[in-house]
Amino acid sequence: MERGATDMEDMQMATTLFAVSFRQHDEIAEILASAGAGAGWRAAVANDADGLERRFLASRAAVALIDARGALDDGLSATRRLGGIVATNGAALLVLVSRGDVEAIGEFFDAGATQFLASPASDGELVQALRFAGRYAARASGGTIDRRAIPGASPFDRETGEARRWIVGRIAEESPVTVVLVALSRLDIVNAAHGRPAVDELIEAAVLRAETVARGAIGVDAMVARLGGSEFVLVIEAAGAAVTAAITALDAALARPFAVANTRAVLGCRFGVAQRQPGDDAAALLRRASEALAEAKASDGSVLHVALPDGVAPIDALAIDLHHAIERDEIDLRWQPQVEIASGKITGVEALARWNHRVLGPLGADTLFDAADRADLGIALSDHIQRLVLARAVAWPEALGTLRVSLNLTAADITRPGFGALFLARIDESGFPRGRLTVEITETGLIEDLAAAAALLAELRGAGCRVAIDDFGTGYSSLAYLKSLPLDYVKIDKALVRDIDGSARDRVVVAGAITMARSLGLAVIAEGVERPAQLELLAAGGCSLYQGFLLSEPVGEAALLELMARE
């Protein structure tokens, strides 16, 4: 009877095997056949590491088999990628290594392997190993057996077990529980430069920081457990805003450089987040978090994936939302008037983007662009905004029909091959006259590839647009490159303008910048002008245009019409 029950376990839990092999397809098929594909195993085979986590989860396999024979590095990296998932969903991870490589087994266990087999092994041994792995998985996913008792268990099983018990306890108390799985990345760089011990040291240091966050910063009950490989879990007895705060704190803690092997290393990390729902048990919660982490790893830009987004909206969650924001038309524009100082007339406007987030309300441009960077959507967003600006401005009523329109380009736009032609075609398609358009480009955007930038600016100017250099005075601000670029305006940054009516030193800096620009025949626009005293000093210094709260903050079209009517 005993045996019958065990076989039942094998049948239910271990019917699907997920095999990863970096060798020929035929060979793994052979292994599987000899391992007893006929004896109830269904196999999904992966021959490369593309989207490995996702494929493994999709296969719903109870056992992962990684064939690391003759492919030790690939095998180890695949083990690292699946190790955390296996630890949370209770699957088994069997690694096949060549006999000559058995010393590497410690590393595989650290990476999350649960068992291994040295090859060549007989067919019988392989069948046994798979059966054992299947049984292990059945127990581990049930969560009833202390995994320390299982031979070959990863050294982090104890910690994983503690985290599980912690969750089970909170669920029993009906407390809110959030699981944050964290996968560290960019470790391969450290590995290549300083070797395996440095990587271990780094992971330990990262876990230590997470523990500090869990202990101190959050203010709710939390714990951290290593899962093997470069993954660990932060479990939090909270939901909603406290989780947002925790993830933000964790993100910040992990973003700080680490000291390792006498240098500094900056790690990347991805988060998978799941919050307890009614009816969840520990396994379901961990599985959802692990699926979320796989999503976060698979999607190009997003570093955070939330299985349940309720109330979680740090910058990385925003990065995910941004994918939809463009489709849902949540990106909006404000226009900030630019005034000719001599006449007091509004002669143009700068278009500034806003994000009307469906839950969080209006968000500023800095948040929007931060989210875009995280989501790798910088170019898509900038494209969208350019079209939007042109489409809106071309449809303006006559009262606004003489205004110049200033459009901000991003650094990524400028370095994009063929951008000039694309942009000009976009303007012409919209029907907006080229001659009324100014593009604003920051110094940082230009400096990366001065020659390419100069060619682009010349192309745009040649086509009738004007060009302004933005945020002047904050970055490199050297006459040398200012001279080498075809420009129309220099925009003095608001940080320089801010203190101009305070210290004499700031006045000298701004006066110098204005003189520099004018000596090159460029018009100067001051931004961030808030007080009459600032404006007077700027006018006296030879500044020709200004923008700022003194006249108006960025406004919608209706308010812009009113401002024009007042003149």
* Minimum CB distance to ligand C2E, residue 488 (Å): 16
Question: Residue 21 or 534: which CB sits closer to ligand C2E?
Answer: 534
Instruction: From 128-136, 214-222, 433-441, 446-454, give the range in contact with Ca ion by CB under 5 A.
Output: 433-441
Task: Single out the residue of 348, 420, 528, 541 in contact with ligand C2E (rule: CB under 6 A).
Answer: 528
d(Cα 309, Cα 323) in Å, to the nearest integer? 15
Q: Which two tokens stand for residue 314?
A: 């740090």
In contact, 82 and 154? CB cutoff 8 Å: no
In one letter, which amino acid is 190? V
Measuring CA to CA, how many Å separate 460 from each of 408, 417, 437?
14, 14, 10
In contact, 53 and 289? CB cutoff 8 Å: no
Which residues in the 421-440 window bind ligand C2E by CB under 6 A? 440
Which residues in the 435-494 window bind Ca ion by CB under 5 A? 440, 470-471
Task: Single out the residue of 17, 76, 225, 385 in contact with ligand C2E (rule: CB under 6 A).
Answer: 385
Q: Which two tokens stand for residue 122?
A: 């007989």
Task: Single out the residue of 124, 364, 435, 512 in contact with ligand C2E (rule: CB under 6 A).
Answer: 364
CA geometry: angle 402, 404, 406, nearest 5 deg: 155
Q: Which does 366 bind (CB under 5 to 8 A by kind): Ca ion, ligand C2E, none?
A: ligand C2E
φ, ψ (nearest 5 deg) of residue 438: -120, 135
* Minimum CB distance to ligand C2E, residue 50 (Å): 33
Instruction: From 131-139, 294-302, 320-328, 527-535, give the range in contact with ligand C2E by CB under 6 A.
Output: 527-535
Q: What residue ranges in 358-411 does DSSP mark as E strands?
A: 361-363, 404-408
* Minimum CB distance to Ca ion, residue 494 (Å): 6
Q: DSSP letters along 218-248, please?
A: S-S-EEEEEEETTEEEEEES--THHHHHHHH
If we measure between CA atoms, which residue out of 410, 386, 401 comes closest to residue 433?
401
In one letter, which amino acid is 306? V
366 binds ligand C2E (CB under 6 A): yes
115 binds Ca ion (CB under 5 A): no
- Peptide bond preceding 554 in cis form (omega within 30 of 0): no
d(Cα 96, Cα 267) in Å, to the nearest integer? 30
Task: Single out the residue of 110, 157, 159, 470 in contact with ligand C2E (rule: CB under 6 A).
Answer: 470
Q: Residue 154, Cα to own-chain centre: how many angstroms? A: 30
353 binds ligand C2E (CB under 6 A): yes
* Minimum CB distance to ligand C2E, residue 389 (Å): 7
Residue with token string 């940080």:
495
* Minimum CB distance to ligand C2E, residue 373 (Å): 11
Task: Single out the residue of 352, 372, 377, 522 in contact with ligand C2E (rule: CB under 6 A).
Answer: 352
Question: Residue 163 or 496: which CB sits closer to ligand C2E?
Answer: 496
Q: Give the sheet arrangement for strand 115-119, strand by strand.
A: 42-46, 16-21, 63-67, 92-98, 115-119
Residue with token string 């039942």:
8
Site string for ligand C2E, 481-510 (x = CB under 6 A): -------------x----------------
143 binds ligand C2E (CB under 6 A): no
d(Cα 290, Cα 294) in Å, to the nearest integer? 6
In contact, 190 and 265? CB cutoff 8 Å: yes
- Across the strands, what pairs with 426? none
Task: Single out the residue of 382, 430, 477, 544 in contact with ligand C2E (rule: CB under 6 A).
Answer: 382
Which residues in the 328-347 window bind ligand C2E by CB under 6 A? 336
413 binds Ca ion (CB under 5 A): no
291 binds Ca ion (CB under 5 A): no
88 binds Ca ion (CB under 5 A): no
Q: How many residues bind ligand C2E (CB under 6 A)?
A: 25
d(Cα 88, Cα 154) in Å, to the nearest integer? 13
Question: Residue 499 or 530: which CB sits closer to ligand C2E?
Answer: 530
The residues that touch ligand C2E, with contacts defined as CB under 6 A, are 336, 351-353, 364-366, 369, 382, 385, 408-410, 440, 470-471, 494, 527-530, 547-549, 554
Question: Which residues lie near Ca ion (CB under 5 A)?
Answer: 408, 440, 470-471
